Amino acid sequence: MSIYWQKIQIFSWFIFFILSLSSSKVFSQEIVNSLVERGRELYHAEPVGCWVCHGEEAQGRVGPTLEFGPT
């Protein structure tokens, strides 16, 4: 095998590796987005969701503020 074909083969594997990394990042972002949406639905659920105690903007009412994350 000539050096030219060896370089082509290495370059092909490199491109394949880069594309596989980028596709897994996109896939994981879709999972994160769906989890965020599900959390939003749970927080604002009717009649009794998290918002009842923590407020509509998580500022705190009966429950503590969630402004800086859960405690």
**DSSP code string of the chain:** --HHHHHHHHHHHHHHHHHHHHHHHHHHHHHHHHHHHHHHHHHT-SSS-THHHH-TTS--SSSPP-TT---
Domain count, the chain: 1
Name the pTM for this structure. 0.55
- Per-residue pLDDT at 27 exceeds 70: no
Asked if residue 5 is part of any domain, the answer here is no
Average pLDDT for residues 5-29, to the nearest whole number? 74
Asked if residue 46 is part of any domain, the answer here is yes
Asked if residue 68 is part of any domain, the answer here is yes
Asked if residue 59 is part of any domain, the answer here is yes
Name the average pLDDT for the chain. Answer: 82
Q: Quick check: 59 and 50 in contact, CB under 8 A?
A: no
